[in-house]
């Protein structure tokens, strides 16, 4: 593996690409977020083991990026701000240059802080987003009762949240 050689050389930098959902508790992505949270836990644990070896760890809490994988017929995600690939690269560049332990957008940091202080109201907002967000069932499966969502209300909620978070 790469870690033993970094420790031996007494130099290295590990950059993990996590998800904004790991700090914002995004509904609908539980299994995916669980895997990212496991990576976060592992990274925090080994950070104490490798601190004297001059090996640093950065975790980037990446928001959705406008790629073919994210934007499709089934999901347009037009109710959230999608990073361009250039903006995503800027987050990675920031991690490389600064070696910050965590790299996140303002929105990711704000929602994470608000959840730590006011978990119940934030869970209510996340549940509202979950119910309003359209969802397409896998091919051959029936749509759920909430599958159609309500895009107009979701976009209105986005504008309210955008104002509450300072235009981010």
The separation between CA 12 and the C-alpha centre of its own chain, rounded to angstroms, equals 25
- Specify whether 115 is catalytic: no
CB within 8 Å of 124: residues ≥ 6 apart? none
Annotated active-site residue in 32, 61, 77, 130: 32
- At residue 21's C-alpha, the angle toward residues 137 and 141, to 5°, is 10
**Angle between helix 151-164 and 119-132 (nearest 10):** 150
pLDDT tens, the chain, 168 aa long? 899 999 999 999 999 999 999 999 988 888 999 999 999 999 999 999 998 999 999 999 999 898 877 776 666 666 677 899 999 999 999 999 999 999 999 989 998 999 999 999 999 988 888 887 766 666 677 766 656 666 677 667 676 666 666 655
Q: Within 13 Å and on the Cβ side, how many CA atoms surround 151?
A: 8
Number of H helices, E strands in the chain: 7, 3
């Amino acid at each position: 593996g790469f870690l033993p050689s970094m420790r031996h050389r007494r130099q290295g930098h590990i950059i993990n690409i996590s998800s904004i959902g790991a700090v914002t508790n995004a509904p609908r992505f539980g299994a995916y977020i669980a895997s990212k949270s496991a990576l976060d836990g592992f990274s925090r644990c080994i950070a104490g083991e490798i601190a004297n070896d001059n090996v640093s760890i950065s975790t980037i809490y990446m928001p959705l990026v406008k790629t073919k994988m994210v934007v499709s017929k089934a999901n347009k995600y037009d109710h959230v701000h999608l990073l361009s690939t250039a903006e995503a690269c800027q987050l990675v560049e920031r991690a490389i240059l600064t070696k910050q332990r965590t790299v996140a957008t303002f929105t990711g940091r704000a929602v994470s802080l608000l959840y730590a202080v006011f978990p119940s109201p934030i869970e209510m907002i996340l549940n509202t987003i979950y119910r309003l967000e359209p969802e397409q069932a896998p091919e051959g499966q029936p749509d759920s009762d909430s599958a159609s969502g309500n895009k107009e209300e979701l976009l209105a909620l986005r504008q309210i949240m955008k104002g509450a978070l300072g235009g981010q």
